[in-house]
Structure 1
Amino acid sequence: MDASGVTIRLIQADEVAAFRRIRLEALRAEPSSFASRYEDWEILPDEEWRNRLNEPVFIAFQDGEPMGIMGLFRQRSSKMVHRATIVMVYVRAHLRGTGLAQRLLEAVSDHARNIGIRQLELFVSAENPAAIRFYQRQGFSEIGRIPGGVLEEGREIDDVIMVRRLVD
């Protein structure tokens, strides 16, 4: 399957159902790819789901169905407001390799530039080499690691910290 006919857009607070559907799917389908657990999110009340949309969340839709997600979490401190972290990255398995993840990243990057973000940051599991390669192809550089950044089923897994400048 290809990603033609897929539209990507910044979702609004009244689209919480689509957000919940794709976020829970991501956590269920790829539990080792996220710092959050499905069990922590499935119990959130509607108000908390809406609150999480106070930060930009982009969803890829095909025929009205969410196919991928990527969010942006901006730093709050006035000295760090130029930085944002990419979060909740997920594309349905049958659409991986179609360029959809790159299109999501472009939408998030464009939005970030438009709101004054100068640097994008992210954390990725050291056990996810495909994601690390993807981010490297998109201009991200590894700047460090957090040893044992995530505890998954009793195992400590390093988080790889990656950064991409949006302005020179």
Structure 2
Amino acid sequence: MKVRTLTSADAEAFQALHIEGVTNYPTAFLRSLDEVRDTSPDEVARVLDSGKIMGAFAGETLIGLAGLAQNGFASARHRAMIGPFYVSTASQGQGAAQALMDALAEKARQMGVLQLELYVWAKNPRAQRFYIRNGFEQVGRIPRSVIIDGEECDDLLMVRALDR
């Protein structure tokens, strides 16, 4: 398993995996399937060339993706948000999520980040267990974080200190 920062050269594989993720787990993404599908190739390339998205590979195949966005305000640069975070259904349970999380944490430390934050759907106990195993703790709940097809979905806010 190899993890690296994605670039515009990975745009087609990234877009296909992103569409798979939004199709299979719409509550795990803020963008709808239509919004993801309608994203232009140039926009996908721009996002990937920003250096904020990492990918997990099995051989040459992209099987997982994870975003890391450092807060841009001077007083909050010690914080970074994880998202999106997705591993292909066919590859779940094979270590890709852990490899991505380890790589994100290392990248965050190199950026001077002290705290990772993420949102996870309140009805996704598998993801919550994974995050807890990785040192995250729930610090809040956001009611109606997203509404998908009329269903109100709560998210949990989870935080992991990297310096403790």
TM-score, with length taken from structure 1: 0.91
Aligned residue pairs: how many? Answer: 163
- Decide which of 111, 119, 123 is 1:123's aligned counterpart: 119
- Decide which of 132, 142, 148 is 1:146's aligned counterpart: 142
Distance 1:74 1:42 in 2: 26
Identity %: 34
Q: What's the CA shift string for 1:76-96, capped at 9, x where partnerless?
A: 111111111100111122322
**More off after superposition, 45-54 vs 100-109:** 45-54
Q: What's the CA shift string for 1:90-144, capped at 9, x where partnerless?
A: 1122322222211110011101101111100000000111111110111100000
Distance 1:31 1:156 in 2: 12
TM-score, with length taken from structure 2: 0.93
Residue in structure 2 matched with residue 163 of structure 1 by the alignment: 159
Q: Does 1:87 align with 2:58?
A: no
Superposed, 1:1-168 pairs within 5 Å as 6-53=1-48, 54-168=50-164
The one-letter code matched in structure 2 to 1:140 is F
3-state secondary structure, aligned to 1:98: coil
**More off after superposition, 9-18 vs 79-88:** 9-18
Contact in 1 for aligned 2:5/2:51 (Cα 8 Å):
no
Give the deviation of 1:55 after TM superposition: 4.4
Distance 1:34 1:15 in 2: 20
The one-letter code matched in structure 1 to 2:31 is S
3-state secondary structure, aligned to 1:36: coil
Give the deviation of 1:63 after TM superposition: 2.8
Give the deviation of 1:32 after TM superposition: 2.6
RMSD: 1.3
